[in-house]
Amino acid sequence: MNAKGPAPWQGNAGRVCGSNPLGEGPRMDIGTRWQGTFRMIPDGLWQHPDLELIDIKVWCGLCLHSRDTGQTTSTNASLAATAETSLATLKRSLARLSKAGFISVEGETNRRVIRLQPDAHETVYTLRMAHG
């Protein structure tokens, strides 16, 4: 380790790999060259047996349109353009996401609000303590 942080591994030009300051082993970082935004996809969404790959892209579009508010009033045309899909495919995707519980749609098409529910399939574990 040097004053600027972990020393890069040899043979990984352009990548930031070094010792992990929190523990042993390599550390991976995307560096500063990447510019843009990121979307989080709930594990329950991408693992859901009834959802399709386009539904993940539509989810990411909904997240982008919601601008961290958890809801959007964007039109189907705008959402379809963002997800780079047809209106018919977008409507089927919204129906699947709604049926799976990841979104709720309130109101009519002209004044509808789509609310994102990323915790719809959050896994809850119960710990039991053994006495004695």
Query: What's the pLDDT at 17?
Result: 43
Q: Show the CA angle centred on residue 113, arms to residues 71 and 87, nearest 5°.
A: 100
Tokens of 120: 């719809």
Whose tokens are 């699947």? That residue is 96
Amino acid identity, position 80: A
- Asked if the model's pLDDT at residue 79 lies above 80, the reply is yes
**5-26 pLDDT tens trace:** 555 444 444 444 444 455 555 5
Query: What's the pLDDT at 39?
Result: 76
Query: What's the pLDDT at 16?
Result: 43
Q: Which residues of 60-99 are buried (b: 16+ CB within 10 A; e: fewer)?
A: bbbbbbbeeeebbebeeeebbebbebeeebbebbbebbee
Tokens of 25: 């082993």
Stretch 71-96: mean pLDDT, rounded? Answer: 96
Instruction: Looking at the structure, give the CATH architecture of the domain made up of residues 43-116.
Output: Orthogonal Bundle (1.10)
Residue 7's alpha-carbon distances to 10, 18, 29, 30, in angstroms, are 9, 6, 13, 15
Tokens of 121: 């399939």
Query: What's the pLDDT at 124?
Result: 56
**29-66 pLDDT tens trace:** 556 666 667 777 888 899 999 999 999 999 999 999 99
> Which ranges in the chain are annotated with CATH 1.10.10.10?
43-116
**85-123 pLDDT tens trace:** 999 999 999 999 999 999 999 998 778 999 999 887 665
Stretch 69-91: mean pLDDT, rounded? Answer: 95
pTM for the structure as a whole: 0.66
